[in-house]
Copies of this chain bind each other. A is one copy, B any other.
């Protein structure tokens, strides 16, 4: 990881985590529910989505006091999706990032409700922001609903479930990922543009960058499942192969997946070049995503 990116992460990651803590503390709700919400929000992770929102603003030289809050709402949505994905009826995972999953600690009922509360809260927090216009807030909520809902993340999760045990084509696999993980990652990037009132040209470039880097992120995830160790990953390596999951390496071979990763990376950077955003943080994050070992 470059020094520039490291400095950026070290400065902003604690701010996001602090804000997530405050945003839950502030609400008037049963303490058991707040504990369940905070538990998963504070369970670590790369915080790549909120960092992306903040990175876009930094690249566009815009500061806005609400940016850190919008960034945090994206992490809320991501966290809610992990809590629900881990449920016994879904992936039935007991561990996430080395810690017991939400339903293991709080029980299934409270885990479902903590997820429900997080997705609902994210919209309310955006609606109540102080340093954005009503139009910007509406745009953020429109895009967030699209990215997180049936036409994005939830739809992708359904496609992923329906594809289990079947052999998918590359196009079908891409459709799963574009929705399941790509849509919310894209939103985190576009949110920065919306907050910055970016030009249409910049928004288009961010959209293209987000699309390709989202796929690159997933391909690297699939590669790491084969090449990484459980210790590096903080989760069981080799699980995809064992469960005969559709992955880029399973469809394209490992070399083919590496080629596809490079292709998506290149397309992401080309999009940035068009608006001269290809030398800063967005490049650094793209480099990190495609070269990371966990």
A positions within 8 Å CB-CB of B: 27-30, 32-34, 37, 84, 87, 89-90, 107-110, 112-113, 115-117, 119-121, 123-128, 133-135, 137-139, 141-142, 144-146, 148-151, 154-155, 157-159, 161-162
30 contacts between A and B (CB under 8 A): A27-B150, A27-B151, A29-B158, A30-B150, A30-B162, A33-B150, A33-B154, A33-B155, A34-B150, A84-B113, A110-B158, A112-B112, A113-B154, A116-B154, A117-B150, A117-B154, A120-B148, A120-B149, A120-B150, A121-B149, A121-B150, A123-B141, A124-B141, A124-B142, A124-B149, A127-B139, A127-B145, A134-B134, A134-B137, A134-B138
Smallest CB separation, A277 vs chain B (Å) = 27
B120 touches A32 (CB 8 A): no
Copies of this protein in the assembly total 2
State A117–B198 Cα separation when bound (angstroms). Answer: 29
A145 touches B120 (CB 8 A): yes
Residue of B nearest to A28 (CB): B151
A145 touches B161 (CB 8 A): no
**Complex contacts, A107 vs chain B, CB 8 Å:** 89
**Complex contacts, A109 vs chain B, CB 8 Å:** 89-90, 161
State A108–B155 Cα separation when bound (angstroms). Answer: 16
Smallest CB separation, A92 vs chain B (Å) = 10
State A121–B154 Cα separation when bound (angstroms). Answer: 11
A89 touches B117 (CB 8 A): no
Residue of B nearest to A107 (CB): B89
State A44–B99 Cα separation when bound (angstroms). Answer: 42
**Complex contacts, A115 vs chain B, CB 8 Å:** 116
**Ranked 7 nearest A-B pairs via Cβ:** A124-B145, A89-B108, A120-B149, A134-B134, A127-B142, A29-B150, A117-B150
**Complex contacts, A119 vs chain B, CB 8 Å:** 116, 119-120
**Complex contacts, A142 vs chain B, CB 8 Å:** 124, 127-128
Residue of B nearest to A149 (CB): B120
B84 touches A116 (CB 8 A): yes
**Complex contacts, A141 vs chain B, CB 8 Å:** 123-124, 126-127, 141
List 14 extra interface pairs beyond A30-B162, A110-B161, A119-B119, CB under 8 A: A32-B158, A33-B150, A33-B155, A37-B150, A84-B112, A89-B112, A112-B112, A113-B154, A116-B119, A121-B149, A127-B145, A128-B142, A134-B134, A134-B138
